[in-house]
Copies of this chain bind each other. A is one copy, B any other.
Amino acid sequence: MERTYSISDLAREFGVTPRTIRHYEDEGLLSPARDGQRRIYSARDRTRLALVLRGKRLGFSLAEAKEIIDLYAAPQGEAGQLRTMIGKLDEKRAVLEDKRRDLETSIANMDRYAERCRERLAELEADAREAAD
């Protein structure tokens, strides 16, 4: 018996609205089980939701997030399927790597700039101490 979640359980946990989660289902990103009308989310559903939201934070559209996430769920039966999957994984990995480079330049630039600010502030404070004497 695995643990399950209601839609508002997940909404609370991830800081989104139930509407958002239903929207992801409309877009084919989630397909929870049902108890009558009610949606029942499994641990796998929860993981998929987490992946979607992480994708969004990294600047992917829902469609792009779906492409990536569906790779993890695809059947890996025969060798041909495995080879195309590995190819697609390499593509997506390259995109992520590009973003990482962008991100690292951004952080490095920001750090350099912040450092210059701190130096300038230190000078100003030294001047202020001199003037106080």
Q: Mark A residues whose CB is within 8 Å of B.
A: 54, 56-60, 72, 76, 78-79, 82-83, 85-86, 89-90, 92-93, 96-100, 102-107, 110-111, 113-114, 117-118, 120-121, 124-125, 128
Contact = CB atoms under 8 A, between A and B. Distances in A.
Contacts of A121: 79, 82-83, 86
Q: Which DSSP category, helix, strand, loop or mixed, fits chain A's interface?
A: helix
B59 A102 contact: no
Contacts of A85: 117
Contacts of A59: 56-60
A76 B117 contact: yes
B58 A125 contact: no
